[in-house]
Structures are given as C-alpha cells and as structure tokens.
Chains A and B, each alone.
Chain A
Amino acid sequence: MPDTGAPRVLRKEDHRFLTGRGHYTDDLNRPGQLYAAFVRAENAHAKLNAVNVEAARKAPGVVAVFTGKDMEADGVGSLPCGWVVTDKNGSPHKAPPHWPLARDKVRYVGDHIAVVIAESIMQARDAAELVEVDVEALDANANPAKALEGAPAVHDDAADNLCYDWELGDKAAVDEAFAKAHHVSKMELKNNRLIPNAIEPRAAIGEYDPGTDEYTLYSTSQNPHLLRLILCAFVLNLPEHKVRIVAPDVGGGFGSKIFCYAEETVCTWAAKKVGRPIKWTAGRDESFSSDAHGRDHVTHAELAMDQDGKFLALKVDTIANLGAYLSSFATAVPTYLYGTLLAGQYKTPAVHCNVKGVFTNTAPVDAYRGAGRPEATYVIERLVERAARDMKMDPAEIRRRNFIQPNEFPYQTPVALTYDSGQYELALDEALKMIDYQGFPQRRQESERKGKLRGIGFSAYIEACGIAPSKVVGSLGAGVGLWESGQVRFNATGSISVFTGSHSHGQGHETTFAQVVAERFGVPVENVDVVHGDTGRIAMGMGTYGSRSLAVGGSAIVRACDKIVEKGKKIAAHMLEASVDDIEFDAGTFRVAGTDKQKSIGEIAFAAYVPHDYPEDVEPGLDETAFYDPANFTYPSGVHIAEVEIDPDTGETKIVDWVAVDDFGKVVNPMIVEGQVHGGIAQGVGQALLEECVYDEMGQLVTGSYQDYCMPRADDLPSFRVAMTETPCPHNPLGAKGCGEAGAIAAPAALMNAVTDALGTDEIAMPATREKVWRVAQARLTPAAAE
C-alpha cells in the first residue's frame, strides 16, 4: 500500500446509506403513480399466435395493458446494439431486431410479452396472470457449444445462429511459431455463465408532462446520458432535450445496469399513453431471467514454447454466447475487450484469436464486471500454469521469464493494444514474499499429514480500462465516443459543486472526486459536493463501466479545475495589481511570485460572483466544464496468489490465504480502492467455486433464484491480504489506471490454478463446487469410489 501520508478519508455518502436515507429508485414515488407488471415468456422459444388481454383489462385497478402490437403501431424501435463488430469476411455482425415487447416470437424464458399497468402493484401482478398467451412452442437452442451445429435458429435472418466470426492477430505468424515449437500446451476451457446480481434489482419510473412535452425516467442506470441517447435516438424517437433521466442512488451494477432494457423503455413510452407515472421494480426472479448475464465462453487454447519455456505463440478459439438478442454492448465484450487482452503480461510474439459469437435461446449476455478481460485472463493464466506444469517449471519462474520488462514500454502487443506502463515482476516478487512462497512445500506437507490437499495458484493479469480513446473505439465499431465530462462550480461563498458524467453505484465517487478537487483547491473535503446521475443537471457524459471513472471522469474534473485556476489567475492578477504571468497558484492560494501578496481561492470566487473590482476582459462567475477524451486505454495489472486446502472427504475447498498485489497507478483513496479489490475477488471466487447460470436443453432457466444460484456468502470467503505497487499512468493528469474490475479479472484463474494444483489434475471446470471437487479428489485417491 503506498503511504500517501494523508489521513484516511471516510466516505461522504455513508451517512445516508447507514441511516436508511438513501434514495434508490424503488424508494421514490411520484404523485398519481401506477405500477407495471410484465407478462413474460415461459417458453425459451415459441411463436406468438395471440396475446389475449381482455380479461386482464377488466381486472380491478387495471388502467392499461399493452403488447408488442401497440408499440409497433406507435413506431417504437428495436433496442439497439451500440457496437458493430465486423466479421472476418468483411460484413457487419448480424443484429436481428430486439423489440421491447415481443412481436412475433419469444426467444428466451423471461422475454417480454405484455405489460399490465394498474393502480397497485398487487393489482398489476394479479391481472398479469389473466393475460392469455397462445404460443406454438419451438425447439430451443440453449447450448452455445452446439449452437453452430444445426441447432434451431433463434432468428430467421441468422439461420446458422452465427452473429459474427471474428479474428484478430497474425495467423500465419502463429502457425509458423507452432511449427517450430519445443512444446505446445493445450486446454479446453469453459468460462461459466454468471448472473450479475446487484443486490438492488433494476427499477424504473417513467413520467410524462403534457404541459411541456417532457419525459422523466428514474432508472437504476450506470450511465443515464448514454441511456437517454439510446432511448431517444434509436428506440422511442424522442428529442433528447425533452427527456431527463435520473439515476439516483443505485445499489450496485457490475455492468448489468449499463444497458438499455425493455422495462424502462416500456415505462417511459407508456407513461405518455396513460398520462400518469408508471413504476416497475424487478422481482429477483425477473433479475435472474432478464438482467443481461455475463461470460459464457467455450474455448480451446494452445501455447507454443521453446525449450526454455519462452512463449512463442498463442492461439485461442472461442465460442461466445451472446444470448437471444444483442444487448447494448454485447458484441464488443468477447472481441475488443477479450481478444485484445490475450497477450497478457507476456512478450508472446504472435497471438491469434478467433471468436464466434452465437445466438441461443437464453437471456442476452453482455458486460459483467471485467467484461472480456476476466475471460482473457482465465485463458492465459490457466494455460501458463498448465505450461509450467507441462515443462516442469516453477509457475512463478515461467511467468518471470516471459514478462514484458519495465524498460520496454510503450509496448506494442500483437493484438492491437499499446501498453503504456507496468512493473509486472515487482508485483510478482511482492506477492511471493507476502504469501511466503518458499514455505509452501512445508505447508503442503503439513496439510498432507492431516489428510488434506493443498494447492497454490497464480494469476498475473492485465486489463485495458478507461474505455477509451473515442477515435480508437470508433474505428473498431463503437457507436459512441468514450470521453467524460466534468464541471467544477465554485459557489459565491466558496463551497464547490462538482458535476460528473461518471456514475457512482458503490464506488464512492462522492468522496474520491471530492478529494481530488479539495486537494487542488486546498479546501476541506466537506466543502465539495459531487453531483452525478441526472441528465437534467449534468453536461452530457458517458457513465461508469470499464473501471473508467477516476481515470477518465476524474481527469475531466482535473481539467475543469485547471480552467478554474487559469481564470482565477486573471482575477487575482487584477486584484493584486500584477501581471497574470507572475501569479502562482498552490493549494488554494494565488500569490504574486516572490512576494507575500496573495488571495485565497475563496476570495477569488467571491470576486467572480460580485465583480465590483474585476478585470474588464474576464467574464463573471467561476464555473468551468471540461470534456476529457483519453489518449490511450489504461493498463492496470497485478498478481494474485491463492492458496487452498481441500478436504477430499467433503470436497470443501478452503481458501487459506489470498494475496493481491495490484498496480492501479496513483491512488486517491486507498481505503476505497482496497474495498474494490475485496469485492472483485469475491465475485471471482464466486465464479470459480460457486456460481453458475444453468439453462437446461429446453432453455428453461434452472438457476432462477438464490436457492438455486449460489451467491458467495460471508462464510464462503476468507479475509484478503491486499497490497499495491504504484506505476502511474503516463497519459492522464491523475496517473490513475482504475481498480473496479481487477479482483474479478484476477481471481478465477488464481483460484482454479490453486484447486487444480491441489487436486493434481486440470480436469475440473468452473465452478469447482464441492461435489465436483469431491468426485475428482475421490477418483484420484481411490479410483473406484467415485464411480
């Protein structure tokens, strides 16, 4: 942990959350509000013959019932995918329509058929039961591994279920390297499908004001401006200035609240039709069936090495499940956020990646904490560990031998990215020390004496965060720019309001961003308030995902602070009767260089709003906005080491130690950053040991509640030991790289490497549940017992 010398800054937002005074979307109620309940598909794949809503319409309290036909009649558009991936044959990906309410077919369990709007939520739910849906069931295609093998077509215009066949890297160079390799390590890897499970379910309140023709949508969104852009430009055809989206306190997102969903679209559209506000809050069953899911890859990967364990080339073939429809950024996750990361921390000279994105009769799959990067890290780090085992090399040593060295940055990888900075060996050395790697053989022996199996596993990960230079992502198919806005407003009496396009749903921006501003102006953190999550108050922004908020959103705020200082210097020069060039600014004070003549920033702010003694060529006011478009991605990296002890009699995997050494560049609030690491690791542990979204062959969702989908509980997890190295990002003013996703990216590979080390076999897939571990352990100990 870098010692900043600064006292711990506790979170400004905590008081309201701890006293029950937060304002989450479902806590809000609008005058005259109605309630929506959705009628959802029970079949994974079916033709909609008729939807009879007459009985529901007559039910007590019901105000309206709408189906896809009503939206079609109003010209409502399809929910778009905002990133066009180009197939290797040069054509754009296939993007079949995704209607907010189904029009011809339903394509996954939970797909939206109708909405019932009533005076109370109970009346809405009761009436939803009365909607008669006449369907012709069709065979389902629910297994991504078989989607391309003649499975039923999810969409008529993608008859082979292929959305795109994408590739990256120099295949010829890879083939050449494999031909002369000393050894090739190979693995079949499944990256299990996950359900994000923010504890606050999605919710929306749509509202329409006929007097002004304005809409307001309260929504559990990570990026309200982006949601507004998508809703207005593509779905509802509304003018952007007539739509306000408020994302108030949001209870976790992890990616799942980035996207434009059917329910919020319907609530906004229907609010005008019924002339009253409409509220919808997901039940957890709806979250399970209709939040965008994550991961779901099937991969074959091979690593070619020379006789010294130096990596020569990597090839990766992946089938990525995109679900039944393309969610907002679904296509980019298994391509530009996955294939581009496959160089990892290593100098592998040639990498080739082929990804086939497939449609299945399952919920849409999109970004979930890490989004592509956990999948890439899992492939690389499992394979590197396998390579070490194949080559009988120490897993730390094989990594060390292949690391990109600190003097080799900027480093151009063979898969498009230019890494800006990093000290990979430093993190590895620190992690080895922390876990007492030397002592592991002895600890293993001690476990063996108790009849337990001990294992240790590494994960040396890299991320590309910030997402990212608009020009670059535009050239890769993104439909939006990925800059961020920041506005810093001095109020006349010296307090500061900061407006950011980033959105905090647990990350603590209200504190971290306030610290950034307070430090620059030498004012107490308490004097700075951060406003986010409201398109009516904040300049256009891009929101929070990809660990981007501090690196991109924070940088925009710094640039706005710079503008404040520049303007302040002009005002100070006038007041101090000096030349602007002679004014210095430091920690809240403007001073004439080499003199004791000075003005505080508070005095300057007051003068700006009460400009009686004021320069003629300067506008009143002290309120500046900046838009920051990053020059590159940022590249957080680190090494996690997991140590486990397995009880072969029960299959229990006990995590006996976990060390994380991460490099997030410059850190503003170490307490918050550590918390982000803890949470990320927990989600990674969940993926590795507990969590799996399962659809059966008919496309029924088997894991549709917390009784069936195993979330990590407190007693499933250990405490973590977290440390940091600090290699500042060279291209943003804060030197920050981003920390939100690291744990979830690093953890699955570290833990599975430890589990497989303990079990002595790679033949176990995530999640390594007790049952699976027990079967493998028993098969190895007493081959007959597990039959």
Chain B
Amino acid sequence: MPSVTMTVNGQEVSRDVEPRTLLVEFLREHLHLTGTHVGCDTSQCGACVVHVDGASVKACSILAMQAEGGQITTIEGLATNGDLHPMQAAFKEHHGLQCGFCTPGMVMSAVDLLKHDPNPDEDTIRHWLEGNICRCTGYHNIVKAIQHAAKEMRG
C-alpha cells in the first residue's frame, strides 16, 4: 500500500493507505478524527467539508493521496487553545445547530465564505451554502450565525 503524508491540524501525519481511500476516510478511519462526517455518497450534503490548503473542500470528493503534502484543517483544529473560533461561537450563540451532524461541514464552509467575502448579505450566504444540507434548522439560524460571525470577525 502506498504511503501518504500531509499536515492535519498542524501535525504532520503519514499512513499507508489503499489508493482508493478518500480523504474523509483517511481522516475518520486512519486518524480517528471523527468530527468530519459522511452524510451522503454523491458529494452533495457537505457534512465532510474540511479545509485543504485554506480552501473548503468536500473530503469525500478527493482521494487521500490527492491531499499529499497538503495542509488540512478539520473541525477539531478550528478552535485555538480551547477558544472557539468566532464562527463556532456564533453557531452556539444563535442556535445554528440542532442534531450537530451537518454542523462541522457547515462551520468549515462558512469560515471559507468569510475569507472570500467578509461582509456577505443574506442572499450571498444562502447561495454559498448550497453545497451543505441541513435537515434540522431550516437554515434560518445558520444564516443568522454567519452574519454575526462576519460582524464579529470584521471587528
């Protein structure tokens, strides 16, 4: 089996994997980072969104080997020194999650949105989230949380 090496949440990791191993399987099964979830098998639901070299990527849509040498951030790596990232804090403050299953992907996707647009309006947020399905919240409070996080992060 080929070996793959990447940096995940600031730590370099190497593992031998079957070539067909998806990045999300690598994270969950090999590194036991189970915060990244799998909600579908067609790259639609977005529960598995992580950051690869700073950009949001559905971790079910690339092979682990394609992330060779990459910088990966998962939901477990978003908080710093125990302090929630402003996006995580905003989701909590505005009840942007219920069952929590889509949440990691939703948060990782939203963090990337603010890199592209630090002051998105409601339509922009809703359009950006097209690739993330939530069945619980009706998105209302997710949108609100992202708006507040954006405000917080703009300072």
Contact = CB atoms under 8 A, between A and B. Distances in A.
Most chain A CB inside 10 Å of its own CB: which residue of B33, B103, B135: B135
Contact of B92 (A14, A122, A678, A743): A14
Contact of A705 (B42, B125, B129, B139): B42
A671 B95 contact: yes
Interface stretch (A15-23, A75-83, A351-359, A392-400): A15-23
B41 A679 contact: no
Given A20-B35, A678-B140, A715-B129, A252 B42 contact: no
A715 B36 CA distance: 24
B13 interface: no
A711 B133 contact: yes
A719 B122 contact: yes
A69 B102 CA distance: 39
B21 to A, nearest CB: 9
B117 interface: no
B132 interface: yes
Contact of A678 (B18, B97, B125, B138): B138
A250 B99 contact: yes
Given A251-B101, A679-B138, A714 B88 contact: no
Interface in A568-617: none
Contact of A15 (B37, B78, B92, B122): B92
Nearest to B20: A122
A26 B38 contact: yes
B141 interface: yes
Interface in A672-717: 672, 674-676, 678-683, 705-707, 711-715, 717
Nearest to B140: A678
Contacts, number: 181
Contacts of B35: 19-22
Contacts of B100: 13-14, 16-18, 22, 249, 251, 506
A492 B18 CA distance: 52
Nearest to A250: B99
B69 interface: no
Interface string B64-96: 000000000011101100001000100111010
Interface of B: 18, 20, 28, 32-42, 44-45, 47, 74-76, 78-79, 84, 88, 91-93, 95, 97-104, 107, 122-123, 125-127, 129-130, 132-144
Given A252-B101, A284-B42, A506-B136, A713 B130 contact: yes
A11 B88 CA distance: 13
Contact of A122 (B18, B42, B99): B18
A635 interface: no
Nearest to B43: A706
A86 interface: no
Among A17, A197, A284, A712, max chain B CB count under 10 A is at A17
Given A20-B33, A198-B99, A714-B143, 11 more contacts: A20-B76, A21-B76, A201-B39, A284-B45, A678-B141, A705-B44, A706-B40, A711-B135, A712-B138, A714-B129, A719-B144
A116 B32 CA distance: 24
A506 B34 contact: no
Given A199-B134, A249-B100, A19 B37 contact: no
Contacts of B92: 10-11, 14-15, 18
A572 B39 CA distance: 53
16 contacts: A17-B100, A19-B79, A27-B34, A199-B99, A200-B101, A251-B99, A251-B101, A675-B137, A678-B138, A679-B136, A683-B135, A705-B44, A707-B44, A711-B133, A719-B140, A719-B144
A14 B40 contact: no
A705 B95 CA distance: 29
A711 B39 CA distance: 13
B53 to A, nearest CB: 20
Interface residues of A, number: 59
Contacts of A681: 138
Contacts of A411: none
A20 B123 CA distance: 28
Given A20-B76, A252-B135, A675 B99 contact: no
Nearest to A722: B140
A675 B136 CA distance: 8
A403 interface: no
A254 to B, nearest CB: 7
Interface in A642-695: 671-672, 674-676, 678-683
A618 to B, nearest CB: 42
A252 B44 contact: no
Interface string A15-39: 1111111111011010000000000
A285 interface: yes
Interface of A: 10-11, 13-24, 26-27, 29, 122, 197-201, 249-252, 254, 281, 283-285, 505-508, 671-672, 674-676, 678-683, 705-707, 711-715, 717, 719-720, 743
B102 A199 contact: yes
A199 B125 CA distance: 21
Contact of A20 (B36, B99, B140): B36
Contacts of A676: 98
A282 to B, nearest CB: 10
Contact of A719 (B102, B135, B143): B143
A706 B133 contact: yes
Contacts of B126: 713-715, 717
Nearest to A122: B18
Interface centre among A13, A16, A252, A505 (most CB of B within 10 A): A252
A672 B101 contact: no
Nearest to B98: A506
Contact of B40 (A26, A284, A672): A284
B98 A508 contact: yes
Contacts of A743: 138
Nearest to B101: A251
Nearest to A251: B101
A717 B39 contact: no
Nearest to B105: A199
B98 A20 contact: no
B35 to A, nearest CB: 2
Contacts of B101: 22, 24, 198-200, 251-252
A29 B30 CA distance: 12
B88 A252 contact: no
A675 B98 contact: yes
A33 to B, nearest CB: 11
Given A10-B92, A679-B138, A714-B125, A285 B41 contact: yes
A718 to B, nearest CB: 8
B88 A18 contact: yes
B39 to A, nearest CB: 4
A47 to B, nearest CB: 30
Q: Which of A10, A199, A281 has the most CB of B within 10 A?
A: A199
Contacts of A26: 34, 38
A682 B126 CA distance: 14
Contacts of B18: 122
A198 B76 contact: no
B95 A11 contact: yes
Nearest to A10: B92
